[in-house]
Amino acid sequence: MRYRYQQWDGNTFVTQGDMQSFDTFMDFLLEYGDEALEALRQIVNDPEQHKLIEQWIDEGLLEKAGARFRLTPRAVNSMQRKALMEVFRDLRPDSGDGHESIQQGRGGDPIEGTRKYQWGDSISDVDLNQTLRNTIARAGANVPLRMDENDFELHLSESKATCSTVILLDMSGSMGRWERFPQAKRCAMAVYALIRQRFPLDTVDVVGFASGAEVIPELKLALATPKRVTLFDPHIRLRILRERLSHAPQHFTNLHLGLMTARQILSRRGGVNKQVFIITDGEPTAYVEGDFVHLIYPPDEHTAVVTLGEAMLLAHQGVRVSTFALIDDYFGMNWVGFVDHLTKLTRGVAFYCTSGTLANCVMESYLSGRKRKAFIA
């Protein structure tokens, strides 16, 4: 039997009998992931709980795949909306298709002033008053007035810009403490919901990184869990072939491989703007070198240098890097020092926050795009 230890928040543990709504079960899923779905198999023979599960199936929230249960797209969408409401309650729907920009452009809200018509512009933006003035000024006393192509002027408007985002989600062993990982998952799911509502032309991908790195599909994000710590030696130096990495300890922090994966994804995305959100709680303890992955603990300088080099490649390609450093149980200076170097080298954004404030930080960074360092108590 396996045990999981964590800080007790004073509330009693949610039992199966307490799960009278799917909302409650969603919270259970966010914390325990696949284990929560596995638990449904253990209670299916209970008549009362079986009736509740059948109700969720009838409502299109669960479906059976053989002997296992799995979430439906409707359930995932429901979880995303719930996460968005929890972390960004005052969000109002918007009809715009892109992010606002201070530059002049097309498709945004009108601003003061006009500009000359150009081939391909929409005639719905024509400023009739200014266009008529131009015609009269050119024609003078000649009547009837005949408009010319050069007379047309259009309202100025804010430009709209699409954005491709990759969220790098730390899944190392330490993310299992202090409710960090469930909060980080809520954050990523809220970003999905936000993009669908307000920025339909944007893209978002989630990459989970621990000893390795992999894309987490949207339907599987709610079921993801951090890796369990399997080595407790005070000093660890391992070199593993990348093709055999699945056989190695999984709880290390390979931010280097996460950044490499993000760069590959963004190279295929078409957004005008591109950005990476890094959600992590400690220094990198793994890196890639040729065909090998090095797993190192305690963190060393070479691992940090290799990781920072990959981050600089992203920055040189115009990708904005935002780092959300979780400091719930922070005691050392090296962690903050690494984030500080990362922020300076990439000219990015750094948020030093706790798990409880993480979602608001991500939303602020995603919506405003302001470049600043924020220390949040």
Nearest of 291, 325, 285, 326 to residue 307 by alpha carbon: 285
Q: List the beta strands (DSSP E) in the chain.
A: 62-65, 68-71, 99-116, 153-161, 163-170, 203-209, 213-215, 236-241, 273-280, 286-289, 292-297, 319-326, 349-353, 373-375
User: 110 forms bridges with which residues in the sheet?
Assistant: 157
Please determine, for residue 12, whether its predicted confidence score (pLDDT) is greater than 70.
no
By CB atoms closer than 10 A (0-12, 13-18, 19+), residue 187 is: buried
Task: Report pLDDT for 122.
Answer: 67
Query: What is d(CA 96, CA 86) in angstroms, rounded to the nearest whole number?
Result: 23
Check if the beta carbon of residue 324 is closer than 8 Å to that of residue 281. Answer: no
3-state secondary structure of 86: helix
Please determine, for residue 210, whether its predicted confidence score (pLDDT) is greater than 90.
yes
Query: What is d(CA 238, CA 281) in angstroms, rounded to the nearest whole number?
Result: 22
Nearest of 201, 192, 220 to residue 87 by alpha carbon: 192
- Report pLDDT digits (tens) over 306-362: 999 999 999 999 999 999 888 877 655 577 889 999 999 999 888 888 888 887 788
Average pLDDT score, the chain: 79
User: Which band of pLDDT confidence, cut at 50, 70 and 90, is reported for residue 56?
Assistant: confident
Distances (CA, A) of 65 to 41, 60, 109, 145: 12, 14, 48, 73
Amino acid at 303: T
- Output the six-digit token pair for 252: 């290390």
Which domains does the chain possess? 16-71 (no CATH), 99-160 (no CATH), 162-375 (3.40.50.410)
Nearest of 351, 249, 332, 330 to residue 295 by alpha carbon: 249
Within 10 A of 277 (CB to CB), how many other CB atoms are there? Answer: 26
Check if the beta carbon of residue 325 is closer than 8 Å to that of residue 281. Answer: yes
> Measured on CA atoms in the order 180, 181, 185, 186, is the torsion positive or negative?
negative
Q: What would the mean pLDDT of 139-163 be, rounded to a whole number? A: 72
pTM attached to this predicted model: 0.72
Task: Report pLDDT for 19.
Answer: 45
Pairing of strands 236-241, 292-297: antiparallel
Give the CA angle between residues 265, 171, 240 to the nearest 5°.
80
Query: What is d(CA 286, CA 8) in angstroms, rounded to the nearest whole number?
Result: 31
- Report pLDDT digits (tens) over 95-147: 344 454 434 444 444 555 677 777 666 667 778 888 888 888 877 767 777 77
